[in-house]
Amino acid sequence: MVTHKKLIVGLFVILVTAALYFGTRPQKCADGICTDYRADAPTYGMLGVHPVGSRVQVMEEEPGLEITIWYPAVSGGAENAAYPYQIKLPVVGDVTIATDDSYAIPGAAYDLAAGPYPLVILSPGFAMRASSYGWLAEHLASHGFVVLAPEHDEQMNPESGLWQGAIKRPQELQAVFAYVDAQTQPGGALADLVDPETVAVIGHSYGGYTALAAAGARLDSVGLTTHCADATAANHPSAWLCDMLLPHLPEMATLAGLDTLPDGLWPGWGEARVDAVVALAGDAFFFGE
Query: Among 51-55, 77-81, 179-183, which is the least confidently predicted range?
Result: 77-81
CA distance 120 to 86: 21
111-120, 175-184, 192-201, 236-245: least confidently modelled range: 236-245
How much is the mean pLDDT over the chain? Answer: 86
Query: What mean pLDDT is predicted for residues 18-23?
Result: 46
Q: What angle do CA 222, 208, 243 make, to 5 degrees?
A: 45
Q: Rounded to whole angstroms, how far apart are CA atoms 226 and 223?
A: 5
pLDDT, position 76? 66
- pLDDT value at 3 more than 60: no
Non-local CB neighbours of 186 within 8 Å, separated by 6+ positions = none
Of 169, 151, 141, the closest CA to residue 57 belongs to 151
Element containing residue 223 per DSSP (H, E): helix 221-233
Q: Which of 29-38, 110-119, 191-200, 244-253 has the lowest mean pLDDT?
A: 29-38
Answer whether 150's CB lies under 8 Å from 65's CB.
yes
Q: How far apart (Å, rounded) are the C-alpha atoms in residues 174 and 166?
A: 14
Going from the C-alpha of 236 to that of each of 74, 158, 226, 233, the distances in angstroms are: 49, 18, 13, 8
Of the pLDDT bands very low, low, confident and very high (cuts 50, 70, 90), residue 36 is low
Range with the poorest average pLDDT among 57-66, 151-160, 185-194: 151-160
Which residues contact residue 4 at a Cβ distance below 8 angstroms, ignoring those fewer than 6 apart? none
- Report which DSSP code applies to 266: P
- Give the start-to-end residue ranges of the domains of the chain: 4-218+271-287, 219-267
Of 265, 104, 257, 274, nearest in space to 203 by CA:
274
Work out the pLDDT band at 78, boundaries 50, 70, 90: low
Taking only the tens place, the pLDDT of each residue in 123-142 is: 999 999 999 999 999 999 99
Cβ neighbour number for residue 151 with a 10 Å cutoff: 18
**pLDDT of res. 200:** 98
Residue 22 and residue 247: Cα distance in Å, rounded? Answer: 40
Q: How many CB atoms lie within 10 A of CB 197?
A: 13
Is the pLDDT score of 33 beyond 50? no
pLDDT of residue 31: 42
pLDDT at 237 over 90: no
CA 43, distance to chain mean position in Å, is 23
Q: What is the pLDDT of residue 47?
A: 86
Quick one: pLDDT band at residue 2, thresholds 50, 70, 90?
very low
If you average pLDDT over residues 32-43, what whole number do you get? 65
**What percent of the chain has pLDDT above 90?**
61
Q: Give me the CATH topology for the region 4-218+271-287.
A: Rossmann fold (3.40.50)
Measured CA to CA, the distance from residue 55 to residue 107 in angstroms comes to 5
Could you read off the pLDDT of 267-278 as tens digits, one per residue?
Answer: 999 999 999 999
Q: Are 270 and 214 in contact (CB under 8 A)?
A: yes
Q: Does the pLDDT at position 178 exceed 60?
A: yes
φ/ψ of residue 283, rounded to 5 = -85, 85
The stretch 141-145 carries a mean pLDDT of 96
Query: What would the pLDDT profile of 163-173 be if each residue is shown by its tens digit?
Result: 999 999 999 99
Residue that wins the pLDDT comparison between 130 and 28: 130
- Tell which residue, 270, 25, 280, 3, has the closest CA to residue 118: 3
Q: Which residues pair with 58 in a beta bridge?
A: 66
- Classified as helix, coil or strand, 277 is strand
Instruction: Answer with the residue of higher pLDDT: 120 or 10.
Output: 120
Predicted pLDDT at 157: 84
- Give the per-residue pLDDT at 39: 75
* Whether residue 21 has pLDDT greater than 80: no
